[in-house]
Structure 1
């Protein structure tokens, strides 16, 4: 992993209990049928949409089961509590982003420029987000409302994801690719704020994930303004 805390080798994906929610049938080691997988996926998708609308506190298991036309007892067979569903949704969002980002950087290799790595990371994030809009929206709406034990496990996973971005920017600074005088810490927050906040405004009609990522990259790398201010315009005639 690039940066001061890791070598230039591709990031290693961690495994173990901290990466999965063992309370969820989706995260267990037993084999489940395709039909069961489909039911659980539908539950999570529907729950994510409701969490995105109502938040964590106002959502009940019966809201989810009613939306699906399923008895709440059947819902509990797959996910015993609302906490389990919420944890699966928010952790899956980060796991998917983390795994996709690690794979992207591994495919690029350590000799790739930091500029190209960060650009590819932004593109990967936008692609993953566009493919999981409900999960991303739910994550943003409920992550701070979760019970402490669920939140603690999730934040450990989230920090692992964010560390990769910090290391990418630290590597850029170490290689001399970051502009002199800029703070790597602030630069990291600017990049993360740009990509993560896209959940609030991204719509397919605005552009494809790749087009949006390319636009973000141009703005982040090149800036928003020209180097020289344009001459001030003369005021026009007064309007009645």
Structure 2
């Protein structure tokens, strides 16, 4: 898709509201149809604007994708930080990781289109967009690595554990809950309690 330039700026309030609506509709379309199959005309139609008007707000579909991806990660990261930072400074590492699990699931499941689009289309996106998005993903992974390294250093994690593998496994497993979580089958808190029990205590008893 060729890049077009904006003819003139819109008022700030109109620009902001329309921009957010475009991102929301794009996230929904990317989630359900994929990045390649979604056209800018479809995004514009879903947003209630003319196809050409989308260029007042974004230069290309790739730019929209980048912001959808960043927003999906940032929503989850912000919620995780809030949950962890609400704990006392001397909270055990297990409590900090438990808070991070709850925050990740809350951000993930309460902003489904952005977070699910992030997961489902990442493998389809152009390399340039993936490279621009990589930093925010890396920053979030680094945050989890610090939490898990702290648990290891405090002796709260098995000494033979690989924190990188734990992080990849736990985050990977949580991310796919957007595809099967059903809020009608129990409360969010009960769901989180079960996920934390699996992570911390396992599922089998005995040898």
User: What range describes the TM-score normalised by the shorter chain of this pair?
Assistant: 0.7 to 0.9
Q: Deviations over 1:90-116 (max 9, x none)?
A: 001112222222233222243111110
The CA distance in 2 between the partners of 1:35 and 1:211, in whole Å, is 41
Indicate the residue corresponding to 1:75 in structure 2: 54
State the TM-score, normalizing by the size of structure 2. 0.86
Matches within 5 A, 1:27-106: 33-106=12-85
Q: Distance in 2 between matches of 1:103 and 1:56?
A: 31
Gaps of 5+ in 2: 1-10
8 A Cα contact 2:119 2:175, kept in partner: no
What does the per-residue CA deviation read over 1:51-90, in whole Å, with 9 as the maximum and x for residues that have no partner?
1122111111011112233211122212221011111100
For the aligned residue pairs, the C-alpha RMSD in angstroms reads 2.1
For residue 133 of structure 2, what is the aligned residue in structure 1? 154
C-alpha contact 2:73 2:118 (8 A) present in aligned 1? no
Residues 47 and 64, structure 1, Cα contact 8 Å, conserved in 2: yes
**Which position in structure 2 is the counterpart of 1:235?**
none
SS at match of 1:225: coil
Structure 1 unaligned residues grouped into runs of 5+: 1-31, 229-240
Q: TM-score, length-normalised on structure 1? A: 0.75
Q: Which has the larger radius of gyration?
A: 1
Deviation at 1:166, TM superposition (A): 1.5
Paired residues in the alignment total: 199
Structure 1 position 180, deviation (Å): 4.4
Deviations 1:22-78 (A, max 9, x none): xxxxxxxxxx64443322222111111111122111111011112233211122212
Q: How does 1:9-20 map onto structure 2 within 5 Å?
A: none
- Give me the whole-angstrom Cα distance separating, in 2, the residues matched to 1:185 and 1:36: 41
Residue 146 of structure 1: CA displacement?
A: 2.0
Per-residue deviation, 1:224: 0.4
Q: 1:128 to 1:215 in 2, by over 3 A?
A: same
Tell me the distance in 1 between the aligned counterparts of 2:168 and 2:43. Answer: 35
Of 86, 91, 116, the residue aligned with 1:137 is 116
Q: Return the alpha-carbon distance in structure 1 between the equivalents of residues 68 and 35 of structure 2.
A: 12
Q: Which residue of 2 aligns with 1:178?
A: 157
Distance in 2, Cα, partners of 1:110 & 1:193:
28
The answer to whether the Cα contact below 8 Å between 1:123 and 1:209 also exists between their aligned partners in 2 is no
